[in-house]
Structure 1
Amino acid sequence: MDTQANTPLLLPAPTRYPPPYLLFLDLYVLISNLPSLLGIIRPVRTSNPRAELYPYSLGNISSMVLGIILILVGLASLLLIPIWLLVPGGVWLCWFIGVTVVTLVFSKFLNGFAGDVVVSSGQYVHGDAEAEDEKWFFVNGIMTGEFWLKTNIEEAERRFGRRIWGVHNRSYGLVLDLLQCLIQRDLRYSSTCVRALYHNLRTALLELESVPPSPSSSASIPASKPKHKKVVLLAHSQGALIASLVLDMLYADIPRSLLSRLEVYTFGNASNTFNNPLYRHGDTNSGALRYLEHYANRGEYVSRVGILGFMTSGDVTEVAEGWGNQFAGRVLVREGQGHLFVQHYLDVLFQDGFVEVGGGRGVGRLLGYRDGRVVE
């Protein structure tokens, strides 16, 4: 496991600097990387029916229309500050109520009524993977409604041959989603999705199943063992930021023997720090998580303002260079654009385009799970 060693000078960004400084740094990073903003959706063309920009899908079209409406409403909400300064309180209150109601109504259409967790269909599950007692989770990024969450986990199931439990990070439009990202990054805010993911991962790690006693055993109390040999988390965009917050909670709550069963793989990571505490000082192979990998497209905006801007080793341009930020895990970078989970990550994941930063082993462990293969 590749991670960063514990040293007095290596600290997570939120523990090193006060929130105002981190917010200022975030604004600098967001503005300085604006030239790569359109890289989020490029390339646009795709033949995958589950890809987010596939043009012949009514679900995609409705998701994009609702997303555009929420973007416009979000921009209108930015007028609340100058309106508060320039008009009577009654006018401001009417504007505030109108923006709030429209946001809640259209975001409800976007997010649907399925609840916090959506499970993939199971039609692509392979027998070997099912028998291995694995449980896989996915947490989505910004601007993802119920339809895109379902297509994301269905495509992940098809690629990896496992049933996927999707924890829904609900969207309220681009403006409010970005604001929530800043608050989560710099103030460590626990949203509803953070709590839902924490509950589901914790339950999966702690869940037990009974073991039939052997004929020669005289024990009156039935034995038990962890139900899942392996728990895997796939996290995309803001979902990786949420995963970072949840992992910090689990490190303080779950025994090491159980945490070692958890594997985490991120795509287009929007976080500014990622921890994996070492259990033996100086031993970089003693991390709480045995396997932690980050996949990033170099030319896309979110990766540049997230992992590629805040990691402290490798050959990418680093905002955080020299200030000792903690970003644990293997980083695999592809020379390309695109931020969408299916279209720009899963569709290119198995084309050998991701290269490990700083050399190393190159091929990610996640690729070994393709088509339901079992990885020890």
Structure 2
Amino acid sequence: MGATRFFGSQVGGQAVINYAYTDLPSRLLMWDIYYFFYYAWALPWILMPIGTGDDWPNSGHLDELAWTWQNAFCIVVHAVLVVLQMLFLLWLPFVVVLPIWTAAIGFAVFFTVNWALCLLLNGPSIEYHSDPHYAPALPEHADEQWIFINGVAVGDHWMRNNLNRLALTFKRPVLGIHNRTSGIVFDVVECLIQRNLSYATSDVRLAYRIVKQKLYEPRFSRVIFILHSQGGIVGGLVLDWLLQELPQDLLSKLEVYTFGNAANHFNNPHRHVISQALAQDDPLAALTTTTTEITQKTRTTSPISSLAPGDSFQTRELPEEDVKGGQNGSESRSGLPGTPSLRETTSSLSSTRTSSAARDRALGHVEHYAHTTDFVALWGVLHFCTSQTAQRTIPRFIGRLFARASDRGGHQFCQHYLNGMFPLERDPNTGRLVGCAEDNEFMESEILVGSEDTVGHHAREAFEISWLGSGGFGSGDVPAEVAVHGVSRRKSKGVVKVKELSRLWMYRNGMSPPDVQPWLVIEKGVVRNTEKLPRYSREEGTWADMG
């Protein structure tokens, strides 16, 4: 059956460390190359296991390595690209001794052929949608938006299969943002550039625009962001930008789930330093302590209605004595001759947010799934998220991690990850795929809490927070004798299983977690923003809801 080791999310802190994404790109590249060869033993598991027999829970034609003409075509084209790109890289050192015109012709011919071959794999669009046949849009999911970003070497055909597999598993339409392939070798080079230079390629910029747009739409209370392989790098860079710019109530709608994540960092900071401190030093207090934010009404100035349409103006806050009328008790103050008079207005924007310190994170939820034999995961999430030191100086890779040791481990999204962790069920009469199987080895496996944490350093969230801190997990009190801060031992009472900690599992077959994010409210059975987006009325001089 294999074992699943669970690592609570890192807590975070003030340390700035070496070998973090903020380090020198040259040093990051050096370490990446070193660990590429260090984990090279796992390279065969990018494709293994290949078997699709009766003993393997498979997705049929949706598997990347299923025996179909489309899959065979993709594999042949990729094989040709690998050979050409490797020959090109071997030829590069000799360019310096060639005449300029000869080198220029060589470059032109190679990149033209490479582009043409990639054109056979990539479709005409960057945005894709799952086939309604697998999951039609349902009213009960109208407040959700599911988004997927693929990994290395995925063209048009595999992208559609990935989306349809997700739609069939979770019974929701899925929007795909295509991370286009340039061939396996060049895709790996692109990963190095994205990881080490934090360089936003075109798919990063497009994904940022789309995710930001969806978060701002009031009708969406949840935006589910699913990332695979290189998509973890792309999504991680998108999150960096979102955390810099978006309001906190919008960020709380975002949930992120990654598979075989190739990124070297993943951010999701606490909203308050007190929440971070409690998560480090007193987990039980973090569960019971509430944090409250109140956005006070603000008094601002605006031009009176005599300002002609199209005129520009600047607003400023009035000093307190001017608001009260000053010493002479006047209610308003005229400007200089030729300038519009100002009046004070009070914004109606106010809200109160209360949540436990354990839930006090910017993003709604972050979960990582990885196979311990997956080369990409070893090079990415497993390397950075399970640091042996367990100090507060470990690389920042926030999010809970399910690390599965199994002979069915591999890197392909459908063939290995979803088949092994979210296998499908078939109709016994027709043999048709009908949805996610309710019972499977991975979800039923017992949790072994990662032993890298130490009580003294409190580098990760305690198991109590993992069990109860995000709501909707398990029931009742924290199970007895479960490892806390790495005191790894088996339970003597009851069993903690993966399905009791996996939030993504709660979305299977159209179901949903029962909890509501702190910034959201339930209105007539529908989860919505606590406030509608405001707009300023120039005529009224007041704020109003957009509706």
**Same fold, TM exceeding 0.5?**
yes
SS in structure 2 of the partner of residue 235 of structure 1: strand
Amino acid at match of 2:385: M
- 1:189 aligns with 199
Equivalent in the alignment of 1:222 = none
| Partner residue in 1 for 2:375 | 301
The alignment status of 1:266 with 2:336, answered yes or no, reads no
Cα distance in 2, alignment partners of residues 58 and 328 from structure 1: 40
Deviation string, structure 1 residues 142-187 (Cα, Å, up to 9, x no partner): 0000000000000110000000001000000111101110010010
2:170 aligned to 138, 160, 164, which one? Answer: 160
Once the two structures are TM-superposed, the CA of residue 323 in structure 1 deviates from its matched residue by 4.8
Q: Does 1:342 align with 2:411?
A: no
Q: Number of aligned pairs?
A: 352
TM-fit CA distance, 1:6: 3.3
Q: Which amino acid aligns with 1:300?
A: D
Secondary structure of the 1:348 match is helix
Query: Which residue is equivalent to 1:332?
Result: 402
Mapped to 1, the partners of 2:223 and 2:173 lie a distance apart of 12
Residue in 2 that maps onto 1:365: 503
- For residues 108 and 277 of structure 1, the distance between their equivalents in structure 2, rounded to whole angstroms, comes to 40
Counterpart contact for 1:10–1:326, Cα < 8 Å:
no
Question: Counterpart of 1:301 in structure 2: which amino acid?
Answer: F
Compute the RMSD of aligned alpha carbons: 2.2
1:89 alignment counterpart: 100
On the 8 A contact 1:14/1:187 being kept in 2, the answer is: no
| Aligned mates of 1:65, 1:11 — CA distance in 2 | 43
Whole-angstrom distance in 2 between the partners of 1:320 and 1:27: 24
2:39 is aligned with 1:33: yes
1:203-218 matches, within 5 Å, as: 203-207=213-217
User: Greater CA deviation, 346-355 or 234-243?
Assistant: 346-355
Query: Aligned ranges for residues 1-376 of structure 1 at < 5 Å?
Result: 3-9=9-15, 13-46=19-52, 47=58, 48-55=60-67, 57-113=68-124, 115-125=125-135, 130-207=140-217, 226-283=218-275, 284=279, 285=358, 286-313=360-387, 323-336=393-406, 337-350=409-422, 351-353=440-442, 355=447, 358=450, 361=467, 362-363=498-499, 364-376=502-514
Q: Deviations over 1:41-65 (max 9, x none)?
A: 111012521000001x111111111
Whichever residue aligns with residue 246 of structure 1, its letter is V
Distance 1:150 1:229 in 2: 26
Aligned residue type for 1:232: I
TM-score by length of 2: 0.61
Post-superposition offset of 1:16: 4.2
SS at match of 2:36: helix
The answer on whether the counterparts of 1:331 and 1:357 sit within 8 Å (CA) in structure 2 is no
Quick one: distance in 2 between partners of 1:320 and 1:22? 20
What is the SS of the residue equivalent to 2:61?
Answer: coil
Give the deviation of 1:127 after TM superposition. Answer: 6.6
Whole-Å Cα distance in 2 between the matches of residues 201 and 319 of structure 1?
A: 35
Structure 1, unpaired ranges of 5+: 208-225
* Aligned partner of residue 77 in structure 1, secondary structure: helix
Q: What CA distance in whole angstroms lies between the structure 2 residues aligned with 1:299 and 1:15?
A: 24
Deviation at 1:9, TM superposition (A): 2.0
Task: Give 3-state SS (helix, strand or coil) of 1:171's partner.
Answer: coil
**Higher fraction of helix:** 1
* Alignment check: 8 A CA contact 2:8 2:401 kept: no
> How far did residue 131 of structure 1 move?
3.6
> Helix, strand or coil: the match of 1:295?
strand
Q: Percent same amino acid at aligned positions? A: 34
Q: What amino acid does structure 2 have at the position aligned with 1:51?
A: D
Query: Are the counterparts in 2 of residues 183 and 189 from structure 1 also a CA contact under 8 Å?
Result: yes
Matching residue's letter, 1:373: M
